[in-house]
Amino acid sequence: MLFSSILSLSLVTPFALAATAADWRSRSIYQVVTDRFAKGKGEDDTTCDSSQRKYCGGTWQGITDNLDYIQQLGFDAVWISPVVANLEGETDYGEAYLGRWTQNISHVNEHFGSGDSLKELSAALHKRDMYLMVELVVNNFALLPQNQTEDGSYDYSSLAPFNYADAFHPECPIKDYSNQTEVEECWLGNSKKLIMPDLDTGNSSNFRIMKDWAKDLIAQFDVDGFMLSGAKHVSPAFWTDFVGATGIFAMGDVLTDNVTYAVDYSKALPGILDYPTWFPLIDAFSSSDGNFTAVVNSIEHSKELYGVGLYTSGSFIENPDQRRFPNVTTDESLILNAMTWPFVHNGIPIAYYGQEHGLYGGASPENHESLWSIGHNTYHAQYAQHFATLNGVRHLAIDSGKNFLTAPMEFVPQVDKNALAVSRPPLLGLLTNAGSNSSAQWTIPADTGLFQKGESLVDVLTCNYFEVDQTSGDLAIQSDSGMPIVIIPSKLLDVEGKFCSALPTLHTAVTNNSPVSVRNVNTLSSIFASILALALI
Ligand SMILES: *[C@@H]1O[C@H](CO)[C@@H](O)[C@H](O)[C@H]1NC(C)=O
Ligand SMILES: *[C@@H]1O[C@H](CO)[C@@H](O)[C@H](O)[C@H]1NC(C)=O
Ligand SMILES: *[C@@H]1O[C@H](CO)[C@@H](O)[C@H](O)[C@H]1NC(C)=O
Ligand SMILES: *[C@@H]1O[C@H](CO)[C@@H](O)[C@H](O)[C@H]1NC(C)=O
Ligand SMILES: *[C@@H]1O[C@H](CO)[C@@H](O)[C@H](O)[C@H]1NC(C)=O
Ligand SMILES: *[C@@H]1O[C@H](CO)[C@@H](O)[C@H](O)[C@H]1NC(C)=O
Ligand SMILES: *[C@@H]1O[C@H](CO)[C@@H](O)[C@H](O)[C@H]1NC(C)=O
Ligand SMILES: *[C@@H]1O[C@H](CO)[C@@H](O)[C@H](O)[C@H]1NC(C)=O
């Protein structure tokens, strides 16, 4: 609950009701590219060609007007693009529509709306007990090659407040990503296309300015959490001080496939994106040749080595920086399995807007589709349902009294190399990369102690019931069409009401565990009417 956090609040500012890491743990996040998610009511809705890399006109007002949509998918936090004024005009990389090319940290990005409309978004979220996560770019600012002066330096006067060369590290390109000094001090961008002066974050006066800015954002816009973009380009020591001074939850976007590399950031920050597992994960679910052992190894290492285990890490399948998963495989059972992962992971599930539509854009900018060009209402029925069900069952698990949020996830070893069993009592996730033409088999031996002999279980994705063997106490389950299975003891349904019967029409589609070969498109009203009860559990 948002307001319950008042009690534990460290008094950062008199206005912000800061959400703690513990508050964030139970949340699930819907990430939008602000420019592409939605226009406001009455805003002209011309279509958007993402390959052009230009602003398409999505706004904060658009997000505010579509909170029903996000909430009905079961998400209770929204991560928006950076909010400050960016470089204007065209570059060789297009326009600054992702909001990551900072010029003036004291001014909002007017393409997304006014400061007041951002305040309205924040208030509208809080009214629904949803959280606002704002992405921040701290590492660098942005200039054009035209801003280079005759002596080879730059005219910094379009930047604020750092309108002088001394604020930045001396210019050098990052050539060697294994040299951390270069990663932190050299410049991103490209001297011929887009200049990205790298802020000297080790300078105490620069630190003070950035910290005050972040506190001001929290106070002005009632922000509940930050996503720190490009976190590996700033030292862990800076982050510790920065997050400590701002006093709210922050997660670092540390792009790496190396658990050991990520460890320092996991200790410096309340949370990081679980990129080290994302890499083997995408490989594992891309085909039946994928390797679950690599996923298991990554999770076991990070569980052991990260500052607070995996609990406040962000688990995701898609984001604006990676090609969408349906671009990797078109097999819907593989896509549904991958979508299930963040909800059986120990961390905070994060979905990227448009996953519920089954969007299949490739790498940036193709994966920045505008939802209004597609139609918010024409989402993929089974994917939308999947999010709503998974968010619903996660809340059921959180409320079950089984320490769902504080007990480490465990794998139950399987004989079938295409089967992965993740135990997070009271929930058991049975995932597979067999694909929709093959079957997978899981066995949960009695000696795991997870279930009792004869216990009745239910797969919340199909509402199929299973019984643990009366004599041996083993549980053996098969999926004939490569679909994921998410099991809870059926007695939990009775406590909370009839979880499954709230889903009449949608669940007939998948009752036989059959793959959906045709893209199954329904309208919002027909589907969300029946899943609303579930999503809001
Ligand atoms: C930055 O924004 C502030 C607040 O709107 C404004 O006063 C200032 O002139 C801007 N600076 C630049 C360089 O655009
Ligand atoms: C940087 O270059 C752009 C494009 O030529 C120009 O509009 C802008 O005024 C320049 N900024 C400064 C401070 O010269
Ligand atoms: C730190 O930055 C300030 C202005 O941002 C500058 O005046 C000062 O020289 C810098 N200090 C060092 C040690 O670089
Ligand atoms: C790492 O990069 C820095 C800055 O470019 C350089 O001074 C240093 O020699 C490099 N270290 C190694 C081991 O290459
Ligand atoms: C992983 O990161 C650690 C710590 O930065 C480093 O020592 C190691 O060489 C990296 N491993 C690989 C394979 O890059
Ligand atoms: C799967 O990954 C593990 C760990 O990274 C590796 O040891 C093993 O060789 C891989 N198996 C296959 C078949 O590639
Ligand atoms: C992947 O994305 C690219 C670019 O958007 C597109 O041309 C291609 O058809 C996509 N592939 C699949 C399998 O969706
Ligand atoms: C499943 O079988 C169908 C029909 O034979 C085929 O078109 C499709 O490519 C197969 N899918 C996979 C993932 O192998």
Secondary structure in 3-state letters for 456-499 = EEEECCCCEEEECCCCCCCEEEEECCCCCEEEEEHHHHHHHCCC
Q: CA-CA distance, 307 to 311, in Å (whole number)? A: 10
Indicate if the pLDDT at residue 92 is higher than 80. Answer: yes
Mean pLDDT on 201-230: 98
Q: CA-CA distance, 218 to 208, in Å (whole number)? A: 15
Ligand in nearest proximity to the CA of 256: 5
Q: Is the CB of 325 under 6 A from ligand 7?
A: no
4 against 259, higher pLDDT:
259
Ligand 2 center to residue 363 CA distance, Å?
30
**Cβ-contact 372, 39 below 8 angstroms:** yes
Q: Report the SS3 class of residue 271.
A: strand
Mean pLDDT on 111-132: 98
Q: CA-CA distance, 224 to 12, in Å (whole number)? A: 12
**Closest CA to ligand 3's atom 6:** 166
Cα torsion angle, 238, 310, 133, 401, sign: negative
Question: Would you state the pLDDT for residue 499?
Answer: 61
**Closest CA to ligand 3's atom 1:** 203
Residue 10 confidence class, pLDDT cut points 50, 70, 90: very low
> Which percentage of the chain shows pLDDT scores above 90?
81
- Amino acid present at 427: L
Q: Where are the beta strands (DSSP E) in 81-130?
A: 84-86, 102-108
Residue 165 confidence class, pLDDT cut points 50, 70, 90: very high
The pair of three-digit structure tokens given for residue 271, joined into one six-digit string: 């949370």
**Cβ-contact 156, 165 below 8 angstroms:** yes
Indicate if the pLDDT at residue 6 is higher than 70. Answer: no
Indicate if the pLDDT at residue 5 is higher than 70. Answer: no
Question: Would you state the pLDDT for residue 121?
Answer: 98
Question: Would you state the pLDDT for residue 501?
Answer: 55
Residue 101 confidence class, pLDDT cut points 50, 70, 90: very high
Indicate if the pLDDT at residue 504 is higher than 90. Answer: no
The pair of three-digit structure tokens given for residue 290, joined into one six-digit string: 């994928």
Does the annotation place 321 within a ligand binding site? yes
Mean pLDDT on 184-197: 96
Does the annotation place 494 within a ligand binding site? no
Ligand 4 center to residue 172 CA distance, Å?
11
CA 286 from chain center: how many Å?
19
Q: CA-CA distance, 206 to 203, in Å (whole number)? A: 5
Q: What are phi and psi for residue 287, nearest 5 degrees? A: -165, 175
Pocket perturbation via mutation, ligand 1, pick of 106, 108, 147, 154 by most ligand atoms within 8 A of CB = 106
**CA distances in angstroms from 74 to 23, 70, 101, 455, listed in the order given:** 17, 7, 32, 29
The pair of three-digit structure tokens given for residue 150, joined into one six-digit string: 């005759």
Q: CA-CA distance, 366 to 359, in Å (whole number)? A: 10
How crowded is residue 390: how many other Cβ atoms within 10 Å of its Cβ? 28
Residue ranges lining ligand 5, Cβ < 6 Å = 258, 260-261
Residue 530 confidence class, pLDDT cut points 50, 70, 90: very low
**Cβ-contact 111, 35 below 8 angstroms:** yes
The pair of three-digit structure tokens given for residue 245, joined into one six-digit string: 């001074």
**Cβ-contact 368, 93 below 8 angstroms:** no
**pTM exceeds 0.75 for this model:** yes
Q: Worst-scoring range by mean pLDDT, 283-297, 398-412, 512-526?
A: 512-526
Residue appearing with tokens 């093959």: 438
Domains and CATH numbers, the chain: 21-139+201-376 (3.20.20.80), 410-535 (2.60.40.1180)
Q: Worst-scoring range by mean pLDDT, 13-17, 233-237, 305-309, 323-327?
A: 13-17
Ligand in nearest proximity to the CA of 179: 4
Q: CA-CA distance, 528 to 384, in Å (whole number)? A: 9
